[in-house]
Amino acid sequence: MCPQRVLFSPITRLSGLLSAQVILDGGRVAEAYVSSPLFRGFESIMGDRAVTDAVYLTQRVCGICSLAHGATASYLLDELYDNEIPENAQYLRNIMYGADFLQNHIRHFYLFSLPDFVQMPDRPPFLRQNLLDARFDGATNERLAAHYGEAIRAAQKSHQILALFGGKAPHQHSFVHGGVSVAPTADKVAQAGALLQEIEAFIRTRLLPDTDLIARAYGDYFYIGRTPLRLLSFGLFRFGPKNERFLWKGGVLTEGGVTTEPQVRLIREEAAHSWFSPVDGALAPDPDKPGGYSFVKTVRYGGEPCEVGPLARMRINGFYDGGTSTMDRICARSLETALIAGLMREWLGRLVPGEPPIAQKKTPVKGQVTAVTDAMRGALLHSATVEAERVVRYDIITPTVWNFSPKDRSGRRGPVESALVGTEIPRPEWTFTMLGRIIRAYDPCLACGTHIIDLKKDASPSRLFEYPLQ
């Protein structure tokens, strides 16, 4: 039989627009192309804005992990203004960041991933569910499906904790440069503790057992969607008056072991297969570019593609010793959820109720700064060149750019493409079920990965990230 080209579009139950085209040869995925047809322009929006606007504007990159962008922009501003972060603010910032992780991970497991494995009730929003490899009995399906609704309430409580200290969620307003602008009063701390207690109970009695149940029933997915061992993390949960210390270390994990913290100078972007073409020394959107197939750019570390996300963090820090498969990604995310809830409990206990813990300096001490941290889906970078406190240039590399990179100029695949290639499809009718499970395990967020719908075709030019900044 001749190789068959299959288009999977749109891929549902994720954030943003995503398509995948695979070449099937003898029931095996021989090649894959993952594509985001969504163009955005947040770096352009930042042009000539007050640099302090970055905390608020960059959060609009995403409606799910918005705090991650606000946090990274705050770290960037802390270094720009040489702020000293009060100890209470360090705990408060990480409590808020942890709460946003909890809502994201719980929603991903139940709202996006669970219907890949569980037969949901035949009513909206699950009508005509296309699950052709269901392995649970009726009672187990019913119990797991019931947890879907409970998960929405658990995620809501996570957002309530964030809103208590952040003013609102998503797109909080208090995690800003110099600290946190909301007072951690005793009643707020007590309310956050009560909400966290309910979330922890959900994680303990629902999320972890449900993850174990799916991992045992679909154990073959520990051998499906595997990628070469190249995992990268910038580190997570910054502490110290200068944000100088990560609680969870960063690194690059390969077959040779874990290296020290990733070096920004080794990060490069390219656009060999992205819908951008050079125009007057910059890049302009070019959706008709020959060989292009995505608005996501290609990012490499030391010339190599790297996978980022919960699996990278858990393995680099020694919390998880599994492989690099679809099911490993799901298990690592659930494990991380439980660990973060425990940390939040500890940090809440160390908070001292009182005035807003914030001390903002007024004069920048440098003109160029880059800030990195891990976000829910992996490594996140913000970089800015500033003159008279106005943005000259602002770059963002999101986790989705790492994982959903199109092929580079040498034809090497990005992590998701690597995970798809080699997959054996035992039955043709299982094709979309299997591809969907592999792809969703990465928690895709293409709204973050692509960089304004341009109805007038006058979008501003884009650039490739290159260090040192030009």
The DSSP string of 53-76 is: GHHHHGGGG-SSSHHHHHHHHHHH
Give the CA radius of gyration of the chain: 22
The domain containing residue 64 runs over which residues? 4-448
Q: Does any domain span residue 12? A: yes
pLDDT tier, 259 (very low <50, low <70, confident <90, very high otherwise): confident
Distance CA 245, CA 268 (A): 25
With 60 as the cut, is the pLDDT of residue 348 above it?
Answer: yes
Confidence of residue 468 (pLDDT cuts 50, 70, 90): low
Decide: 448 and 400 in contact? Cβ < 8 Å.
Answer: yes
Annotated binding residue 62: yes
- Per residue in 392-414, pLDDT tens? 989 999 999 999 999 999 999 99
pTM: 0.93
- pLDDT surpassing 70 at residue 223: yes
- Using the predicted structure, report yes or no on whether residue 459 has a pLDDT greater than 60: no
The answer to whether 65 is a known ligand-binding residue is yes
Q: How confident is the model at residue 417 (pLDDT cuts 50, 70, 90)?
A: very high
Separation in Å, CA 8 to CA 17, 242, 363: 12, 46, 51
Please state the rounded mean pLDDT for residues 220-239. 98
Residue 454 has a pLDDT of 41
Predicted confidence band of residue 132 (pLDDT cuts 50, 70, 90): confident
Residue type, 10: P
CB 378 within 8 A of CB 397: no
Q: What is the mean pLDDT of residues 125-149?
A: 93
Per-residue pLDDT tens digits for 1-35: 689 999 999 998 887 789 999 999 999 999 999 99
Q: Work out the average pLDDT over 378-386.
A: 95
2 marked as binding residue: no
Per-residue pLDDT at 438: 98
Asked if residue 461 is part of any domain, the answer here is no
The CATH number that applies at residue 188 is: 1.10.645.10
How many domains would you assign to the chain? Answer: 1
Tell me whether residue 331 is annotated as binding.
Answer: no
- Is residue 9 situated within a structural domain? yes
Alpha helices, DSSP H, located in 261-414: 310-316, 326-350, 399-403
Among candidates 98, 93, 97, which has minimal Cα distance to 181?
93
The distance from CA 376 to its chain's CA centroid, rounded to whole angstroms, is 4
Q: Which residue has the higher pLDDT, 221 or 126?
A: 221
* CB distance 177 to 194 below 8 Å: no
Identify the pLDDT of residue 466: 62
51 part of a folded domain: yes
Task: Give the pLDDT confidence of 264-279 residue by residue, as tens digits.
Answer: 999 999 999 999 998 8
Q: Is 445 annotated among the ligand-binding residues? A: yes
455 pLDDT tier (thresholds 50, 70, 90): very low
What is the pLDDT, as a whole number, of residue 44? 72
- Looking at residue 456, what is its pLDDT? 46
pLDDT category at 431 given cuts 50, 70, 90 is: very high
pLDDT digits (tens, 9 = 90+) for 41-88: 666 778 889 999 999 988 888 777 889 999 999 999 999 999 999 999
Of the listed ranges 123-127, 219-223, 297-301, 363-367, the least confidently predicted one is 123-127
The pLDDT assigned to 41 comes to: 63
Cα torsion angle, 219, 423, 35, 370, sign:
positive
Mean of per-residue pLDDT scores for the chain: 92
Q: Does 457 reside within a domain?
A: no
- Note whether residue 453 is domain-resident: no
pLDDT at res. 452: 43
Share of the chain above pLDDT 90, in %: 81
Is residue 464 assigned to a domain? no
Q: What is the mean pLDDT of residues 193-199?
A: 98
Residue 182, in any domain of the structure: yes
Question: Is 142 annotated as a binding-site member?
Answer: no
